[in-house]
Amino acid sequence: MSIKKYLIVSVLILSSLSGFAQQLETNFNFHGFADNREYAKSGRLSQTIFGARFSPEIGALLDSTHRLRIGVNLLHEFGSSQFIEKVNPVIYYQYQKKAWDFYLGAFPRVNLLDDYPRILLNDTLNYFRPNIEGMLVKYETAKFKQNIWIDWTSKQTNQNREAFLFGFSGKYQPGKFFISHYAYMFHNAFSKMPPANQYLQDNGAVLVQLGLDLGKPLFLDSLTISAGAMASIERTRGLTGIEIPKGFISNVYLAYKKFDIQNTFYAGQGHCLINGDKFYTSDVYDRLDIGFTPIMFKNIQGKFICSLHFVDGVIDSQQAFSLRYNLFNSKALKK
C-alpha cells in the first residue's frame, strides 16, 4: 500500500472511531542523529550514520484503558538523493491498566526495548528499525518490572526468509540492590524457495546481572554499579552444532548535572550474535562512554557521546549526537 492510500485509510478508520472515543490524541516524534564510527583499527566497519526520523501519530483513547494509534515513521539519510529513504507504518492497539501494559501492532521501540545491552541488541536498531512489529506485554510496579515480547522482522516470500525475535527482560529492585535479566532468541528460517546454501539459524542470548543503585552519593547525581554473566546460543542447522560461548560483563554509570560517564567491560568467549554489537566477537572488550547533554527540556533532549573502544590491542573511537523531540496533545470528545 502506498503512503497516500495508507493515510486515507488511517483517516477513515479514526473518523469512524471518533464517535466512540473519549479523547482524540496526537503525538509527534522527531529523532535526529549523527554517529561517526572510526573502527578501522580493529578491522570492523567504519561508517557515518547521519539522518533524521519524523513520526507523527494520531489516535483515539476509547476509554481509560484502550487506545488505538495510526501513523508513519519516515527516515531521511543526509546526502541521499531520496527525500524519504524508508517508510515504516505505525499502527497499534494499547491496553493500559494499573501495572499492566499491552501492545499489539507496529509500535515504537523507544522506552520499551531500547534499554537492552548492546551485546544483545545493537544500538543501530534505533536508527534503522525504530518499531517493534508484533506484541509486547509489560508488568511494572515500584520495585519490579517484567516484559515479554515478539518482534516479527521478516515475512516469508520466495526470496525473503521468515525471521523473528522473541524475548523477555526484567528487573527487581527492593532498595539499592537490584537483579536484572535480558534474554531473546532470533529464529532465521527459510524462504519459500531457499537456495542450496541457505541454512536455518537459531541465535540468542541470556544476560543476568546483580547491581547497586547508590542514588546520589557525595556530589554525584547518580551512581550505578552492576556485574553479571552472559551466555549465547548459536546454531546453524545442518552446518554447525550448538555453540554456547560464555563470559563476564560489568557496568559502571555515574552522572553529574549534564555530564555522565559509563564503562562497560566484557571478558570471556567471543559471541557471534546476528543482532548484537560486533565488538563482542572478541574475547576481551572495554567501552568507555563520555556523555554531555547540553539540551534538556520538557519535550526535547540533545546528547553528545564520545566513545572509546578498547579491543584486540587497539583503540577505536566514536562520536555521536542524538536529539529527540516529542510533543503530545489530547482533546476531549465527550464530557
Q: What angle do CA 78, 79, 84 make, to 5 degrees?
A: 60
pLDDT of residue 335: 54
**How would you write 157-223 as a 3-class SS string?**
CCCCCCEEEEEEEEEECCCCEEEEEEEEEEEECCCCCCCCCCCCEEEEEEEEEEEEECCCCCCCCEE
Q: Which amino acid is at 10?
A: S
307: nearest Cα among 292, 285, 291 = 291
Per DSSP, the residues of 8-23 read HHHHHHHHHHTTT-SE
CATH of domain 94-329: 2.40.160
Per DSSP, the residues of 280-330 read GGSSEEEEEEEEEEEEE-SSEEEEEEEEEEEETTEEEEEEEEEEEEEEEEE
Q: Rounded to whole angstroms, how far apart are CA atoms 250 and 265?
A: 5
pLDDT of residue 237: 85
DSSP letter, residue 51: E
Backbone phi, psi, residue 202, to 5°:
-120, 125
Q: Rounded to whole angstroms, how far apart are CA atoms 304 and 248?
A: 28
Residue with cell 537492552: 116
Residue with cell 534538556: 296
pLDDT in tens, 163-180: 999 999 999 999 999 999
pLDDT of residue 13: 61
Question: Would you say 247 and 264 are in contact if contact means Cβ atoms under 8 Å apart?
Answer: no
97: CB partners within 8 A, 6+ apart: 64, 65
pLDDT of residue 64: 84
pLDDT of residue 284: 98
298: CB partners within 8 A, 6+ apart: none
pLDDT in tens, 223-236: 999 999 999 999 98
pTM of the model: 0.90
- Which cell is 276 given? 548484537
pLDDT along the chain (335 residues), means of 10: 60 60 88 97 96 94 90 95 92 95 96 93 93 97 97 94 96 97 95 91 96 92 97 89 95 97 98 94 98 94 98 98 93 71
C-alpha torsion angle, residues 270, 272, 273, 276 (rounded to 10): 60
pLDDT of residue 333: 75
- Which cell is 284 given? 576481551
List Cα–Cα distances, 37 to 41, 199, 305, 308, in angstroms: 11, 31, 12, 10
Instruction: Count other C-beta atoms under 10 Å from residue 313's C-beta.
Output: 9
pLDDT of residue 218: 83
pLDDT of residue 17: 59
pLDDT of residue 98: 92
Three-state DSSP at 63 gives coil
pLDDT of residue 47: 95
